[in-house]
Amino acid sequence: MTTTISTEQQSLKQIFLWGILWIFVPFGVYFLSHIVHPDWYKHFVYQASGFLQGRLDLFNLPDYYVDLIYWKDKIYLPNPPLPSILLMPFVAIWGIATEQIRVCMLFGAVDVFLVWTLLGRMTVQGAMRVGLTILYGFGTVHYSASIIGTIWFYAHVVAEWGMLLALVEFFGKRRFALIGFFMGLAFLSRQATVLGSLFFLGWLVWERPEKWIQKGISFGAGFAPLFLFQSWFNWARFGDPMESGYMLQNYYSSVQAPAIEKYGLFNKAYIPRHIKLIFTEMPEFLPQFPFVRPKPEGMNIWLTTPAFFALFAANWFDVLIVLAGLSAFLISLPAMIYTATGWVQFGYRYALDYLPFLFVAIASGLQRMPKALAWVLITLSVIVNVWGVYWVVKLGW
């Protein structure tokens, strides 16, 4: 008797096998990149512990923790709750001893698998699909973020997870309720990512004008429950569904305090320093060996990931590439007017808020340029980020 394996079963088997490769290998590399690590700034572990006890505030925090909201004799986080929710099963087992950094590495590895899946649905095949997946996982600031794992970086990695899920669904079955839900997950980790909805809704208006209202409602139906949950979370803590806590901060680090006293948390006056960091900031040059090392303030995107130069070769006559670029630009705006630039970091960590969308354009550019040049850019990007991770670990970032 001959057993016929359905196409769907074969597809599931392939997903499982590639999942083993593209999750376990990156996780192993991330783990080995930072075996001995400082178990600090794991605010989300304390938030998860509070959730498990029916509380929305944080307690028993180390004295040196920053970026906290002191409100009515309690301590809160201004950050959205999803990273903490995802930690709850781990905290239920290991309590406060839970290593947030390892969970960050796990989600960082899952993100790499999602990039592999996304590229396949974008019809990128063969060696270039492998190269682009390696580029994302080890040639961008995703690598250093995944192995640092503190509150700020873990939130980025979880937001990437939501955006990548949305992109995988868009380049697949395009169920807009699911896309909206996945973007809601990203929103519950990094709120600026909601501006990436332009990619999906813009495509509807441009390519499916007869269905954009119907599909747009589906998108909204998927997104709404998570938006409402965030609104409730804000209201339950601060009495205002639109107040996440950022505007209630009354303590800042000595680095940020002078600028905040002059301009506040958000101001267009901060744009120039973000522009400088993104486009022109150089590493620190030393008079003796090793002669160069990254600055804690960050480094420009061209040096951090030379493959970003592929953006100039992308097909900007393709509506999806245009929408990807516009979405990345929109997402970048809130960070550009924010007082902090991401310090301490390798590269520019806020780029992770829009990297999944920008990567659609980068993939287009790398495929359109000569193969030899594309591979040179990919290889250089990986080398630079391995160098960056070396210094991240050495300097204790």
Please list the pLDDT of the chain residue by residue as tens digits (397 residues): 344 445 556 567 777 787 788 999 999 999 999 998 888 999 999 999 999 999 999 999 999 998 899 999 999 999 999 999 999 999 999 999 999 999 999 999 999 999 999 999 999 999 999 999 999 999 999 999 999 999 999 999 999 999 999 999 999 999 999 999 999 999 999 999 999 999 999 999 998 888 899 999 999 999 999 999 999 999 999 999 999 998 887 766 666 778 888 888 899 999 999 999 999 999 999 999 999 999 999 999 999 999 999 999 999 999 999 999 999 999 999 999 999 999 899 999 999 999 999 999 999 999 999 999 999 999 999 999 999 999 999 999 8
User: DSSP letters of 22-53?
Assistant: IIIHHHHHHHHHTSS------HHHHHHHHHHT
Question: Could you tell me if residue 315 is inside a domain?
Answer: yes
Question: Is 152 among the domain residues?
Answer: yes
Q: Report the 3 state secondary structure along 191-221.
A: HHHHHHHHHHHHHHHHHCCCCHHHHHHHHHH
> What is the phi/psi pair of residue 314, to 5°?
-65, 160
Of 188, 181, 171, residue with least CA distance to 219: 181
Number of domains present in the structure of the chain:
1
Structure tokens at 378: 């990919």
Two tokens, residue 16: 């499982």
- Residue 54 inside a domain? The answer is no
CB 82 within 8 A of CB 48: no
**Domain of residue 367, residue span:** 7-31+99-245+266-395
Tokens 């180390």 locate to 62
Q: In sequence order, what are the beta bridge partners of 76?
A: 69
Token couple for 6: 């359905």
Domain contains 72: no
pLDDT at position 4 is 43
In this structure, is residue 39 part of a structural domain? no
In a domain, 149, yes or no: yes
Specify the 3-state DSSP secondary structure of 58: strand
Dihedral, 312, 318, 320, 322 alpha carbons, nearest 10: 50
Q: Give the separation between CA 17 and CA 110, rounded to whole angstroms.
A: 14
Q: Which token pair is 61?
A: 């925090």
* Among 304, 299, 310, CA closest to 276: 299
Q: Compute and round to an integer the Cα radius of gyration of the chain.
A: 21
Q: Which residue type occupies 275?
A: I
289 in a structural domain: yes
282 located within any domain: yes
Angstrom distance (rounded) from CA 23 to CA 17: 10
